[in-house]
């Protein structure tokens, strides 16, 4: 027997409509590339998004057509999300920190029809326009009086002029909820980038799930500043979550340094933020140097790479801010797990609670996960057995865009497909997952595995260490041994011996790095994560002391 409930498709346009109707006067504040602070609200945003959708459809954007962006977090970017996605097109966010050759490759692979960009990225557009024949128009997201001109960009359009041609009478179409709405490419550290193609249904369900109290836990009382860029897996879903719950949004634009972020936090009363660990390193350093406090910030989601326990503690003990450690990936829209305390943890001593919060966390309902060995046999949830992490769920990819890379799924005995994350993890008896490493970063020493993440986290707890990375170095006897690479804090005095001794008693003796190298900076990838591939290149000729 069928249920007798209405069959209303889950569409992202309904999120913005709801926000305009119920939270119409809730503000959206943006620091713009023009240099000023811009203010609008959900009602204003929804009207402009409809006009933009109309303008895009008049310009020839049809169902399934890709509209790409190279843009910071801002209200125009948000309008594009809803206009392109809501009308039946696909919003394709591109990471501007990638090399222009990679960007051109991605634009051509995605067959983007239009590309909207903040003028910061004009040089990238000039470098790629001639190589991207599918793009009919390049849309500069800037006030008309600041519109750039360039003879290298045929079809250069002004965003506001385009929007002016759209009618506010436009109505959002009723689409199939399984139709595509968003496209994000993985950063492709190995092989070509691969596209995750989200549907309306997956995006709406992901937003519901993200908003749950034990997930991101956003509400209409929050003022959310996503530091995580809207080109990094849709700012982890916040452009859908915030209007869904009616939270005020604050967009930081291009200035992501500690001072600029801090100023916006304070001026706009931000209660909630999200970003990768490296941005918080910058913010915390700035705040320490100026002896500043947060007056409104209460929580921040930290993920994208392992959040060092020392950072979780500093946020809590020095600033009274709760860190929600989260794990996810582009292929998961991106949220998979988040670490929050459950009722069972309430009575535990502080130290034990901290250990729970340091893990990558518990799945949100909708995601199923397991760890398996190399023969695909499931491993126990005992907190110590570690293996390849597999997931499935309604917001997990089943196939990459244009089948790039073939079928990624691993079937179980019942024929269910599981997505192999490429991460190695443990799961404890309470269902809390902890990432040991990315499978390609784990250090294999004498047939056993050493977690580079654990060693980095320990180094980051040393008071003289500003940033740290650990990579495996070839060793004639052990196969690989860990090398610790460290950026010292300004004026800090620390040497190799101090750091090696710092590990004593904290990890098994055979885990302790064989050597330490000091560097001025650690290379970061396009999403602010440590670029281990680059580090391995930089240290390709390095020999460990006893292996020299």
* Contact string 32-51 vs ligand ADP (x = CB under 6 A): --------------------
Q: Within a 10 A sphere around the Cβ of 132, how many other Cβ atoms?
A: 20
* Contact string 169-188 vs ligand ADP (x = CB under 6 A): -----------------xx-
Q: Maximum Cα–Cα distance for the chain, whole Å?
A: 74
Catalytic residue (choose from 298, 449, 529, 533): 449
Q: Which residue has the tokens 């190279």?
A: 70
H or E segment to which residue 492 belongs: none
Q: Is 477 helix (H, G, I), strand (E, B) or coil?
A: coil
SS (H, E, C) 264-283: HHHHHCCCEEEECHHHHHHH
| Stretch of 33-41, 62-70, 421-429, 472-480 contacting ligand ADP, by CB under 6 A | 421-429
Q: Is 327 in the site for ligand ADP (CB under 6 A)?
A: yes
| Cβ-based nearer residue to ligand ADP, 438 or 536 | 438
CB 160 to ligand ADP: min, Å: 32
Catalytic residue (choose from 40, 93, 186, 300): 186
Q: Which of 330, 445, 457, 467 binds ligand ADP (CB under 6 A)?
A: 330
CB 304 to ligand ADP: min, Å: 5
Q: Within a 10 A sphere around the Cβ of 352, how many other Cβ atoms?
A: 10
Q: Is 423 in the site for ligand ADP (CB under 6 A)?
A: yes
Q: Answer yes or no: are the C-beta atoms of 516 and 500 closer than 8 Å.
A: yes
| Cβ-based nearer residue to ligand ADP, 114 or 418 | 418
| Stretch of 41-49, 221-229, 319-327, 476-484 contacting ligand ADP, by CB under 6 A | 319-327
E-strand stretches of 295-427: 299-303, 322-328, 335-339, 361-363, 368-372, 387-392, 410-411, 417-427
Q: Are strands 479-488 and 515-518 parallel, antiparallel or unpaired?
A: parallel
Q: Within a 10 A sphere around the Cβ of 500, how many other Cβ atoms?
A: 15
Catalytic residue (choose from 58, 152, 444, 506): 444
| Stretch of 329-337, 368-376, 390-398, 486-494 contacting ligand ADP, by CB under 6 A | 329-337
Q: Would you give the distance in Å from CA 467 to the centre of its chain?
A: 20
| Cβ-based nearer residue to ligand ADP, 329 or 356 | 329
The two structure tokens encoding residue 253: 């634009």
Q: Please list, in sequence order, all residues whose beta carbon lies within 8 angstroms of the beta carbon of residue 100, skipping any fewer than 6 positions away.
A: 124, 127, 128
158 phi/psi in degrees, rounded to 5: -95, 135
Q: Which of 19, 306, 323, 458 binds ligand ADP (CB under 6 A)?
A: 306
Q: Is 470 in the site for ligand ADP (CB under 6 A)?
A: no
Q: Is 203 in the site for ligand ADP (CB under 6 A)?
A: no
Q: Which of residues 79-98 bind ligand ADP (CB under 6 A)?
A: none
The two structure tokens encoding residue 239: 């452009």
Q: Answer yes or no: are the C-beta atoms of 16 and 243 closer than 8 Å.
A: yes
| Cβ-based nearer residue to ligand ADP, 187 or 445 | 187
Q: Answer yes or no: are the C-beta atoms of 449 and 386 closer than 8 Å.
A: yes
Q: Is the bond preceding 334 in cis, omega lying within 30 degrees of 0?
A: yes
CB 456 to ligand ADP: min, Å: 10
The two structure tokens encoding residue 337: 């797990």
Q: Minimal CA–CA distance to 529: which of 422, 405, 401, 441?
A: 441
Catalytic residue (choose from 177, 331, 358, 456): 331
Cα distance between residue 359 and residue 323, in whole Å: 12
Q: Is 305 in the site for ligand ADP (CB under 6 A)?
A: yes
DSSP secondary structure string, 159-218?
Answer: HHHHHHTS-TT-------TTSEEEEEE---SSSS--EEEEEHHHHHHHHHHHHSTTTT--
Known catalytic residue at 331: yes
Q: Which of 303, 366, 387, 472 binds ligand ADP (CB under 6 A)?
A: 303
DSSP code of 524? B
* Total residues interacting with ligand ADP, rule: CB under 6 A: 24
The two structure tokens encoding residue 523: 């290379």
* Contact string 360-399 vs ligand ADP (x = CB under 6 A): x---------------------------------------
Q: Is 435 in the site for ligand ADP (CB under 6 A)?
A: yes
CB 391 to ligand ADP: min, Å: 10
Q: Is the bond preceding 27 in cis, omega lying within 30 degrees of 0?
A: no
Q: Which of 24, 420, 422, 523 binds ligand ADP (CB under 6 A)?
A: 422
Q: Which of 45, 107, 329, 390 binds ligand ADP (CB under 6 A)?
A: 329
CB 278 to ligand ADP: min, Å: 12
Q: Which of residues 229-258 bind ligand ADP (CB under 6 A)?
A: 233
The two structure tokens encoding residue 344: 């069972």
CB 71 to ligand ADP: min, Å: 18
Known catalytic residue at 186: yes
Known catalytic residue at 330: no
Q: Is 452 in the site for ligand ADP (CB under 6 A)?
A: no
Which bin fits 377, alpha (ψ -120 to 50), beta or left (φ > 0)? Answer: beta
CB 544 to ligand ADP: min, Å: 26
| Residues forming the active site | 186, 331, 444, 449
Residues that bind ligand ADP (CB under 6 A): 186-187, 189, 233, 303-307, 325-330, 334, 360, 421-423, 435, 438, 527, 529
């Amino acid at each position: 027997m069928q249920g007798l409930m209405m069959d209303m498709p889950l569409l992202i346009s309904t999120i913005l409509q709801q926000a305009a109707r119920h939270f119409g006067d809730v503000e959206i504040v943006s620091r713009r590339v023009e240099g000023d602070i811009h203010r609008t609200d959900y009602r204003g945003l929804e009207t402009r998004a409809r006009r933009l959708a109309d303008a895009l459809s008049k310009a020839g954007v049809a169902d399934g057509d890709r509209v790409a962006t190279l843009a910071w977090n801002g209200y125009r970017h948000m309008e594009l999300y809803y206009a392109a996605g809501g009308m039946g097109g696909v919003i394709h966010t591109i990471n501007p920190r990638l090399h222009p050759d990679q960007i051109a490759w991605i634009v051509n692979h995605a067959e983007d029809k239009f590309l909207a960009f903040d003028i910061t990225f004009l040089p990238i557009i000039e470098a790629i326009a001639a190589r991207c024949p599918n793009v009919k128009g390049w849309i500069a997201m800037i006030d008309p009086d600041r519109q750039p001109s360039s003879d290298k960009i045929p079809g250069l359009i002004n965003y506001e002029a385009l929007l002016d041609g759209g009618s506010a009478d436009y109505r959002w179409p009723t689409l199939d909820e399984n139709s595509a709405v968003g496209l994000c490419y993985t950063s492709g550290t190995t092989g070509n980038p691969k596209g995750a193609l989200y549907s309306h249904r997956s995006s709406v369900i992901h937003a519901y799930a993200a908003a749950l109290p034990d997930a991101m836990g956003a509400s209409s009382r929050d003022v959310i500043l996503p530091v995580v860029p809207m080109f990094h897996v849709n700012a982890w879903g916040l452009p859908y979550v915030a209007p869904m719950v009616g939270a005020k949004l604050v967009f930081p634009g291009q200035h992501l340094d500690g001072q600029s972020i801090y100023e916006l936090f304070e001026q706009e009363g931000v209660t909630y933020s999200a970003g990768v660990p490296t941005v918080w390193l910058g913010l915390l350093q700035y705040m320490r140097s100026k002896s500043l406090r947060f007056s409104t910030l209460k929580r921040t989601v930290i993920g994208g790479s392992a959040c060092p326990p020392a950072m979780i503690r500093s946020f809590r003990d020095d600033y009274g801010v709760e860190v929600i450690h989260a794990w996810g990936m582009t292929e998961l829209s991106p949220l998979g797990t988040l670490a929050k305390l459950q009722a069972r943890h309430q009575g535990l001593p502080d130290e034990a609670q901290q250990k729970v919060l340091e893990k990558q966390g518990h799945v949100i309902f909708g995601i199923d996960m397991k760890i398996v060995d190399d023969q695909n046999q499931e491993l126990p949830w005992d907190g110590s057995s570690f293996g390849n992490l597999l997931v499935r769920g309604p917001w997990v990819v089943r196939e990459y865009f244009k089948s790039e890379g073939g079928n990624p799924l691993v079937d179980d005995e019942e024929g269910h497909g599981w997505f192999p994350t490429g991460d190695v993890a443990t799961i404890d008896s309470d269902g809390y997952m902890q990432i040991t490493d990315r499978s390609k970063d784990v250090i294999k020493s004498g047939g056993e595995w050493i977690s580079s993440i654990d060693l980095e986290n320990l180094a980051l707890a040393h008071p003289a260490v500003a940033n740290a990375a650990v990579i495996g170095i070839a060793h004639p006897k052990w196969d690989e041994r860990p090398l610790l690479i460290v950026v010292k804090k300004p004026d800090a005095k620390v040497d190799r011996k101090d750091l090696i001794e710092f590990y004593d008693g904290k990890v098994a003796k055979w885990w302790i790095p064989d050597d330490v190298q000091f560097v001025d900076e650690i290379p970061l990838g396009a999403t602010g994560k440590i670029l281990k591939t680059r580090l391995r290149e930089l240290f390709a000729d390095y020999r460990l002391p006893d292996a020299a």
